[in-house]
A and B are shown apart, each in its own frame.
Chain A
Amino acid sequence: MNILIKNGHIIDPANKIDEKLDILVSDGKIAKLGKPGSLAGNGARVIDAAGKIVVPGLIDMHVHLREPGFEYKETIATGTAAARAGGFTSVCSMPNTNPVNDCRSVTEFIISQAAKEAAARVFPIGAITKGSKGEELAEMGELHQAGCVAISDDGKPVMNAAIMRRAMEYSKIFDLAVISHCEDASLSAKGVMNEGFVSTELGLRGIPAAAEDVMTARDIALAGLTGCRLHIAHVSTAGSVRLIREAKQRGVKVTAETCPHYFTLTDEAARGYNTMAKMNPPLRTAEDVAAIKQGLKDGTIDVIATDHAPHGMDEKSVEFDYAPFGIVGLETALGLTFKLVQEGTLALSEAVRKLSMNPSEILKLNKGSLASGADADITIIDPNVEWTVDAAQFISKSKNTPFNGWKLKGRAVQTMVGGKI
């Protein structure tokens, strides 16, 4: 079936396109781009995208789909449906499932489940160490062959520097990026929120910014030593931004992501013991938020990812200390990123790049482009629609968001995966 997307404003950073064009989609691929009205549809289904922005399908490289093991929080089916509702055509699933995705059979299960039920493309990320215990390397070769696009012990820092070094060296065989959750567990200890004035007032145990910074510094040093491609997950501190910026200037192969909550909220959101504002790394201070925005602006931070971490309402309706870390993000990420565009922090094309082309390049997904011949993964965005976040309406199984009730401007109105609407 052919689809003609007409009169949209195309933003495709990979091909340096930022103008009004029509797109013809044929057999799940992008057939052709042309001046408005220049493409013959030949009976194609027509989508009028006038006033809309048409971009390569968004890619979220940091998602917890929870299946296998925690299907009450999310499944591959519901997580990818939520992704699609938020404008994402591809998601990368973190390995902290049960069992951990540390071997071929788990990867294959995820891929086969996705083939049956997923509404968006699923790219699994394998574990760095067996069981993500930080002790022995996982069978990276098998994970790679089975379809993993990167390795990470996300949620659990690899505390042993020697093991991390060997993982980074070994990953080079397969040219896999190593995604590091930077947290020194001895410094974060039993902390539940950012260490600072707010934690002092609330009487909650703090996680100092240094817990992230020392690990970022360590892993940058190890990336320098090994020549591995290091990707720093969910950057939350000004210190990490500084370290990554300096490392990039020296030519270390390091990339980085942050999440919408780290450029939108501060630790003030935890007041009232709001467990919806509990995540790891924790929300930091206004200075950190400013540094992260600067890092996004100057290219230090390559990617905006969600760290979509669904949890059941019962799990979050407890004492702050006992609530699990994490919030959902797939259905709010685009609207929150648009706030950066609206306030002038990011050009629209830069925002699109960080949500599509850059994650594709880091993970070698061969996505994030509207070139003819590419898979027709396309997101159509209405940049002017104003809407109110209503967690009850989320497609995701879980509703744990600190943004409920927020008014946002800009939303995906159509998400096409492989030419399918």
Chain B
Amino acid sequence: MSLSSKDLLGIKGMTVDEIKLILDTAATFKDVSEREIKKVPTLRGKTVINLFYEASTRTRTSFELAGKRLSADVINISPSSSSVVKGETLLDTARNIEAMKSDIIIIRHSCSGAPEFLSTRLKSSVINAGDGFHEHPTQALLDMFTIREKLGRLDNITVAIVGDIMHSRVARSNIYGLTTMGAEVRVCGPATMIPAGIEKLGARVYYDMDEAVKGADVVMMLRLQLERQAAGLFPGVREYAGLYGLNRTRLDRAEKKVVVMHPGPVNRGVEIASDVADNQSVILDQVTNGVAVRMAVMFLLSGGAKAEA
């Protein structure tokens, strides 16, 4: 089987089989990064453009490595070095890139919907590398991959996502993916950071973090944007860390083999205590798995089917 869409814009609407296909394909690609020669010829001759309108080190590097390990030609474009500063529209920029015969355009943008906007106007495959507060599908896929690796399954588990849910594309993509795969999802954060109607997506809302992590198999911490304090969304870092920080005491309320995750970059001592991050989290596994998952996505969008991997 292969993916039905030419693009990966979000997890919303994906089927159990599609998610499984990506995760299973990623499992076969993970091995490539462990070899001495970390390269397969799968996408030789394909051109992949990393179009990043928002600063990113981890995700951009992960996509770049994924493309290169598949032997694609990968080019990075970021606003400071491009025509964006000259006032060119997103559409014109993308059309110009496509005129040079790109096959896959990976876009990160601060505006929700920017990838969808491009996907309807371009022939290239578009991969959403994070758009506004909307979706970050490859992050959710690598998170699900990591959970499955650690717990052996995605169904009948309880996942607590804690932090600024309102402004988190990671939270939204994970809610879509995990509920589709049969997990119970809890979201937890200050009432100022819980968006309207989030429970309609199938997540239960908690303001009390102790309650949210009780019996959880996975605790996924989100990064706190410190500038939200000025917008009145929380009174201060100290109180936030007290109410919504993951520390040892709080972690003891979860399941014994709890999986602690964070999409990075981490505010140590704010949303997660250093000793938890360093000694009991799978943060670096997430990063490793990210490359494999992105290889799988690029491979499948290029028309690959699982059997060929």
A: residues with CB less than 8 A from B are 195-197, 199-206, 272-273, 314, 317-322
Contacts and interface: CB of A to CB of B under 8 A. Distances in A.
Contacts of A314: 89
Contacts of B276: none
Q: Top 5 nearest A-B pairs by Cβ distance?
A: A203-B134, A197-B197, A273-B113, A203-B133, A319-B111
Contact of A197 (B89, B110, B131, B196): B196
B103 interface: no
Contacts of B303: none
Given A273-B117, A318-B90, A320-B111, A201 B196 contact: no
A202 B195 contact: no
B113 A319 contact: yes
A330 B131 CA distance: 35
Contacts of A196: 196-197
B91 interface: yes
Contacts of A203: 112-113, 131-135, 169, 172
B287 to A, nearest CB: 24
B200 interface: yes
Contacts of A195: 196
A319 B114 contact: yes
Interface residues of B, number: 25
A2 to B, nearest CB: 55
Nearest to A205: B133
Given A273-B113, A319-B114, A200 B198 contact: yes
B196 A320 contact: no
A195 B172 CA distance: 16
Nearest to A322: B111
Interface string B168-185: 010010000000000000
Given A273-B117, A318-B89, A204 B112 contact: yes
A182 to B, nearest CB: 21
B201 interface: yes
Given A195-B196, A197-B200, A199-B196, A318 B91 contact: yes
B28 to A, nearest CB: 32
Interface in B1-30: 12
Contacts of B91: 317-318
Contacts of A200: 195-198, 201
